[in-house]
Amino acid sequence: MSDDSKLLDEILKNATTRTYAEYVSSDFGAEKEQIELGRALEKQVLEQFASYIANQGYVLGTVPQEKLEWAHEQLFGGKVTGVDGRRDKPIDIISGVFCEIGIAAVTYQTLSKPELSCRSITSHLEESTTAKEYYENLQSDRLREGTITSAMICWELETCLNTKTEWVFKDGPILHPDLVWRGYPFLLDLLKRVVNHKKIIGVVKDLRGEKSIPLRRLGKLLQSGQFLIIYKGVSGWIEPFRLTEIAKRFLTEEGSKIWRGVFKSHVKSYGFEIHEEHFDDGIALLMADAMNNKRGVPNLVDQADAIAGNAFPTGLFGEKIRREFLLAGMGEYWELIDEHMLRG
């Protein structure tokens, strides 16, 4: 029995079953007991944290005050740009695939006038230009959401490369596993350019992947103002299994220069990806800007996210497409409407 099947079997057998009446009147004694066990374990874990970090070869550190002051000068002097992208859910119908991707780039000097760009994907894909081809390809995806997400990441990285500031914060990884796994030469060339830039920093807010588990769990143990380097080189968090040969070379060459870890400015920790040659400056910029934000994420990343969200709100592009179909005479309009909108 695999580890996953054992875990699923244990969950199914041992979960607490309650009627709804028992649920609303329960004092959650079992859950409270588990919390108390967790408090006792947390104390032991914290006592052994420093020795565990040392034994694993991880690097635990803090940013000196003078370095934070330098970072504030760079940030408020407009020498750092925050970049984030936003995409709508793609609409796939007979007429083609419709999707919009918006990207925002902002510094503390351009908060009132950020740089915005938009890529609209409107494709009538060639395999279905006739009714015969449409039916022959009925069971195949014309454009997968994962492909659109990869396109958005590429455009975000291109925006990072084209910014005029010395430093760039990108919302999300700069060496995204999806791009490495695909292994296409043009994607790896893009990632090489990002690494060679040396001053593009990834802010990793989503730490749900298997290789991010140590970042998520160890990040909770950090004190405010601390950072922890866990991986020195992309091979630490991207497995070479099934990679193309050029992707494997990327792991050992350019990819080996990016360090990945976790930092905490306030109560919540976030991941980072920083070039080894400029790590001290990069982590100082991240920490200083995160201290400007009560959520603990670098504020410029939050600003870019909010600007992109306001400029390209979810559903706006889809609503424009639905309107065009309505004006054209209903046709496919009802197929475009979300199921929840049809409920009485």
* Angle between helix 299-311 and 279-290 (nearest 10): 60
Place 210 in a pLDDT band, splitting at 50, 70 and 90. Answer: confident
Residue 58's Cα: distance from chain center in Å? 23
Give residue 14's pLDDT: 86
Beta bridge partners of 101: 87, 119
Which residue type does 290 have? A
What pairs with residue 103 in β-bridges? 85, 117
Give the tens place of pLDDT for each residue, 286-326.
999 999 898 899 999 999 999 999 988 877 766 776 777 66
- Angle of the 279-290 helix axis to the 65-76 helix axis, nearest 10: 80
Has residue 126 got a pLDDT over 60? Answer: no
C-beta of residue 99 within 8 angstroms of C-beta of residue 88: yes
Judge whether residue 187 has pLDDT over 50: yes
Report, as an integer, the average pLDDT of 264-292.
96
pLDDT of residue 34: 87
Is the confidence at residue 174, as pLDDT, over 80?
yes
Query: What's the pLDDT score for residue 141?
Result: 64
Identify which of 125-139, 252-266, 327-341 has the greatest average pLDDT: 252-266
- Identify the pLDDT of residue 108: 97
Q: How confident is the model at residue 33 (pLDDT cuts 50, 70, 90)?
A: confident
Strand partners, 275: 258
Q: How confident is the model at residue 342 (pLDDT cuts 50, 70, 90)?
A: very low
